[in-house]
Structure 1
Amino acid sequence: MIRARGQSGGSGNMDASLLRTITGRQLRLALLLMLFAFASFAVAGCGGGDQEVADDPTAGDHGLEDIDDSPGERSFEGDENIPFDRDDPTAEELERTALPPQMQDVFFGYDKHELDAESRAVLQENAGLLRKSDWKIVVEGHCDERGTAQYNMALGWKRANEVMRYLVSLGIESGRVETVSYGKEKPFVAGNGEESWALNRRAHFSIQDSGR
């Protein structure tokens, strides 16, 4: 009976020791799991912080790009590229009624009224100006001082009419062109040398009215 009790007491001590061993292991395992979970949370928290810091410079760069594209520059580019709307009746009317630039004179050889190649080129430019407006013009025929007044008056008419005919051939309405001769009465420059005479043998253009 004593041995039996001794065996029973030894078995009880063994069970208590085993229980303590198991409980200690579970506690250490629980502590390790808690430490691992805390470390994982700390690492995840640091990674999230790095992501936010990386995003801030990107947002800042976009902000700088917006600042560089200033309203003043956009306004300047817009002003530079404003198209002329030729379909706008108001704009077209202003263009056609505006005073055309000064048209160039054409010059003639001595006792001549025919147009040379240079004179035709000048008249083609003048015709281009007339097409952009509604103005009527007067073609003035002029001569140098040599010869009689009557002869030069007739020669001035020939020169003015020759210019008018060429403008009409370029598409200018004949009703927009009038001619007049001043002969040698209104020299462009004073003098009796060839240089002065060459400048006085000319057809000059003046604006009559807008034809409106």
Structure 2
Amino acid sequence: MAINREPILKRCRYLGISPAVMGIAKESNRNPNANKRKKVSEYGTQLKEKQKLKFIYGVLEKPFRHYFEIAEKMEGKAGENLITILESRLDNVVFRMGMSLTRRESRQLVSHGHFLVNGKKVDIPSYRVKVGDVIELSEKSKKSDKFKEITEATKGRVIPLWLEANRDAATAKVVRMPVKDDLDYEVEETFIVELYSK
């Protein structure tokens, strides 16, 4: 599996996103306007938006392209459908419900089999949840000190409206599919659609 070893803060600064979106509390102390000096072409702007989404969700080019093809076939706008697909990945749901500090960590925790979907163990981070699905921490993992530390550290995290979470029981139910308004970062998904339409 390919691993992105680029420093997270450096990448956040380049893409213009807050490290908090990635689950990191540190703030970069470099000049935030450093990247704005250069004039960026239309293609450069579109590419940056695509790189931003790929970086936030930790998805490589091939699966990202596949998600876009699925989003195009779905009803509605392709860009908004793409965001819904990315947000409904199991590793993202685990991060959103406050069961991991970062999405990278949630990917690892899911692949190690710590989570159940509707009572069945799922160890595929890219598994897409549906409305009505119940995601919970396995009984064995609930006793782990690691998860006690994580829940303590993520107490202040805002849980999105499309998830009905119970932090004490370490469960969450998908009430509805996520939409662009639920995001905690800015993205121009139309640029990604334009980029892939070329």
Under TM normalisation by the shorter chain, which class is it?
under 0.3
Higher helix share: 1
TM-score (norm 1): 0.19
The structure number with the bigger radius of gyration is 1
